[in-house]
Chain A
């Protein structure tokens, strides 16, 4: 079975004026289908750059990145968009819902770009909202929802296309402890259902939900180890 993610000596080099910034310096990592991985690191460590590359928002300067066996390093922007649409779901720290647009329509968005019929969009989106526990909130706009609820809408949006990979960038960064626990619970549940979850965070107790912890520092992998799941520890 091909691994979901296979990075081989991935470099990312930015050029800002005359200064060359090496954001990633030879990252090699393999992530199998169904894993729950936390990528940790302080700010400036390169973890965001790594996530952008894993999420096909950016492409490596050097090295290979194969997603589901497909080399994405040379794809055009439209092909990357298609991969993001079909295989990857994003959850951001600041929710990034489209303002003044209902929860349902926000969750529909990826299907909208896939050209599905309106009826199909609605059915799948409300199913996704139901899965994150937002039944009955379909027609609320983001401002009518709490932070935790907004993040759940974002998760529903990420889920709606049944992606193989869910990328969560500091998903609890803007949430209180209670909401954080709920959101992590949802991600955990999704992982149990077989979705690969990659979590980017700098909080140790959030990273503890994952079963594998990759620490990035100065653009390189500092450590990569399996951990005991927090839920198993706490029994929550």
Chain B
């Protein structure tokens, strides 16, 4: 039997090489189908991993609270347009809700930052020291600021990598340098580790972090004293997040004296929710692309079936001869199944190559992250075998059912 299979594969390959153009055109559907599957899945996987990295860059078990739009005199403001959250809110939350490990707060503005003859416009964040720990934001070099700096509104700053690149020449030491924001001199005491883009595609490293009090009293201006742009909180365990969110909502509603039926004047988001939204999007995309790819696999399979039916008709006499010299039905069946599978497998292999190549190209040209996993390649290969077997079945069966006498007489 092994001799039979092996020799039949060799024969099938020879038929394929002999009818190069026909075989090529037949395989095209499979090539495109498998290539598309590989490319799509690798792009999808790459996107998924990138999103996961972005989500992780927020911190661990983080809850974010943003001020919500408020309606004043019938006019609904934009989200974050009203300033409804305060430092006192953040401190109150920590006191009231024991499962919160810590709360931090942040206020931001985009300002011009100057170092000697160079300058840039970047987001400046005034934060509580706890914010840095909640965000899991390690310092790459230098140090961070502490509560004492906070209390004294010390003139110190931490720089993100992008800002460092903008303000300093290569080789120039940023630590200890004096930068100016709105003419306030600030000493650089640390450089933040790069975090990359966030889930909205913003560069998280384009940032200057200064103590909240410094920002409030000396840099941003004292308008809306005590208010914050956002509160960050974290829990020890991920399972506590939904519970914590509920408690925060209750505490804040009570504190903000929101009557029953009135909407929240804040929005609460957790890392997990963000992750789910993003994963959902990329999953939908992957499923859609896979559906398209499956259609082309289907079309490819039908192409193979078609050419095999032609081949069975063309070779009716040959089938008759084979039967006359002792081929059993299963021999004829196997011969055409093997031919179909050879077509689809060769097509599949070319498709895999093409898919890997186009995924690489996508990374090089468009900069999309792609991941080609062994599983994907194995699945694609398995798919092409399955397509060949499935669509070869009908023609093979047709060939095996031929009557040897009629087949021998066929013109």
Mutual binders A and B: yes
Q: Is B233 an interface residue (CB 8 A)?
A: no
Identify A112's interface contact among B7, B324, B328, CB under 8 A.
B7
Given A84-B324, A84-B325, A85-B325, A113:B3 Cβ within 8 A: no
Q: For residue A110, which residues in chain B have a CB less than 8 angstroms away from its CB?
A: 325-326
Interface centre among B323, B325, B408 (most CB of A within 10 A): B325
Q: For residue A45, which residues in chain B have a CB less than 8 angstroms away from its CB?
A: none
Closest to B7 in A: A112
Q: Is B203 an interface residue (CB 8 A)?
A: no
Q: For residue B326, which residues in chain A have a CB less than 8 angstroms away from its CB?
A: 81-82, 84-86, 110, 113-114, 161
- Residues on A facing B (Cβ under 8 Å): 52, 55, 57-58, 77-78, 81-82, 84-86, 90, 92, 96-100, 109-110, 112-118, 157, 161
Establish whether residues B327 and A113, one from each chain, have CB atoms under 8 Å apart when the complex forms.
yes
Identify B4's interface contact among A57, A115, A161, CB under 8 A.
A115
Task: Choose, from B168-176, B180-188, B256-264, B314-322, the stretch at the interface.
Answer: B314-322
Establish whether residues B3 and A117, one from each chain, have CB atoms under 8 Å apart when the complex forms.
yes
Establish whether residues A118 and B7, one from each chain, have CB atoms under 8 Å apart when the complex forms.
yes
Q: Give a binary string over B1-26; 1 marks a CB under 8 Å from any A CB, 0 the rest.
A: 10110010000000000100000000
Q: Is B361 an interface residue (CB 8 A)?
A: no
Distance (whole angstroms) from the CB of B298 to the closest CB of chain A: 32
**Complex-state Cα separation, A55 to B321, whole angstroms:** 13
Q: For residue B226, which residues in chain A have a CB less than 8 angstroms away from its CB?
A: none
Q: For residue A117, which residues in chain B have a CB less than 8 angstroms away from its CB?
A: 3
Q: Give a binary string over B352-370; 1 marks a CB under 8 Å from any A CB, 0 the rest.
A: 0000000000000000000
**Complex-state Cα separation, A77 to B329, whole angstroms:** 8
Q: For residue B120, which residues in chain A have a CB less than 8 angstroms away from its CB?
A: none
Establish whether residues B4 and A81, one from each chain, have CB atoms under 8 Å apart when the complex forms.
no
Closest to A99 in B: B318
**Complex-state Cα separation, A82 to B323, whole angstroms:** 10
**Complex-state Cα separation, A60 to B330, whole angstroms:** 24
**Complex-state Cα separation, A90 to B324, whole angstroms:** 7
Q: Is B78 an interface residue (CB 8 A)?
A: no
Given A57-B404, A113-B331, A157:B325 Cβ within 8 A: yes
Interface size class of chain B, counting residues whose CB lies under 8 Å from the partner chain: 20 to 34
Q: For residue A55, which residues in chain B have a CB less than 8 angstroms away from its CB?
A: 324
Establish whether residues A113 and B405, one from each chain, have CB atoms under 8 Å apart when the complex forms.
no
Distance (whole angstroms) from the CB of B16 to the closest CB of chain A: 13
Give B306-350 interface residues, CB cut-off 8 Å to A: 317-318, 320-331
Q: For residue A85, which residues in chain B have a CB less than 8 angstroms away from its CB?
A: 325-326
Closest to A90 in B: B324
Q: For residue A115, which residues in chain B have a CB less than 8 angstroms away from its CB?
A: 1, 3-4
Distance (whole angstroms) from the CB of A106 to the closest CB of chain B: 9
**Complex-state Cα separation, A90 to B4, whole angstroms:** 22
Establish whether residues A81 and B328, one from each chain, have CB atoms under 8 Å apart when the complex forms.
yes
Establish whether residues A113 and B325, one from each chain, have CB atoms under 8 Å apart when the complex forms.
yes
Q: For residue A118, which residues in chain B have a CB less than 8 angstroms away from its CB?
A: 3, 7
Identify B328's interface contact among A52, A58, A82, A97, CB under 8 A.
A82
Interface centre among B3, B318, B323 (most CB of A within 10 A): B3
Identify B325's interface contact among A58, A78, A90, CB under 8 A.
A90
Closest to B409 in A: A48
Closest to B8 in A: A112
**Complex-state Cα separation, A77 to B328, whole angstroms:** 8
Interface centre among A81, A98, A99 (most CB of B within 10 A): A81
Q: For residue B327, which residues in chain A have a CB less than 8 angstroms away from its CB?
A: 81, 113
Distance (whole angstroms) from the CB of B279 to the closest CB of chain A: 54
Establish whether residues B3 and A58, one from each chain, have CB atoms under 8 Å apart when the complex forms.
no
Complex A-B: 18 CB contacts under 8 Å: A77-B328, A78-B329, A81-B327, A82-B326, A84-B324, A84-B325, A92-B408, A98-B322, A100-B18, A109-B322, A110-B325, A110-B326, A113-B327, A113-B331, A115-B1, A115-B3, A117-B3, A161-B326
**Complex-state Cα separation, A61 to B1, whole angstroms:** 34
Distance (whole angstroms) from the CB of B393 to the closest CB of chain A: 19
Q: For residue B325, which residues in chain A have a CB less than 8 angstroms away from its CB?
A: 84-85, 90, 109-110, 113, 157
Establish whether residues A112 and B318, one from each chain, have CB atoms under 8 Å apart when the complex forms.
no
**Complex-state Cα separation, A197 to B322, whole angstroms:** 21
